[in-house]
Amino acid sequence: MSGDFIPHQDGAFLEWAKTLTSYVAAHLTGFNIQETALAPIQTLLADYQTAYDRAENPNRGKSGRFGKERGAGRAQSGAADVYQGISDL
């Protein structure tokens, strides 16, 4: 997407999403966000981190790659929702 600054590479996206989530968690009041609203994205990112680490392991099988792809899709959707909520403020 033109003008899209959300990274598309797995490792870069994961770091971006973790940084965004940490920043929002540290500034909940400023963003008018409840802490419980971050729990789903934090869970998705933890799952994605696990799948990413497994997929980056050179001794993994195909299932590691597919797990990462499934985790990436869920995490990207969750991060996009968090970003959209912030940008609407």
Tell me, what's the pLDDT at 26? 94
Q: Which residue has the higher pLDDT, 41 or 80?
A: 41
Determine, yes or no, domain membership for 69: yes
Tell me, what's the pLDDT at 8? 81
Task: Please tell me the pTM assigned to this model.
Answer: 0.61
Q: Which residues contact 86 (CB under 8 A, 6 or more apart)?
A: 24, 31, 33
Task: Tell me the pLDDT tens digit for each residue of 4-62.
Answer: 778 888 888 889 999 999 999 999 999 888 889 888 888 988 988 888 888 777 676 55
For the chain, how many structural domains are there in total? 1
Determine, yes or no, domain membership for 3: no
Given a contact cutoff of 8 angstroms between Cβ atoms, the answer to whether 41 and 79 are in contact is yes
b/e sequence 47-74, b meaning 16+ C-beta within 10 Å: ebbebbebbeeeeeeeebeebbeebbeb
Determine, yes or no, domain membership for 39: yes
Determine, yes or no, domain membership for 34: yes
CA distance 19 to 31: 15
Determine, yes or no, domain membership for 4: no
Q: What is the extent of the structural domain holding 18?
A: 10-87
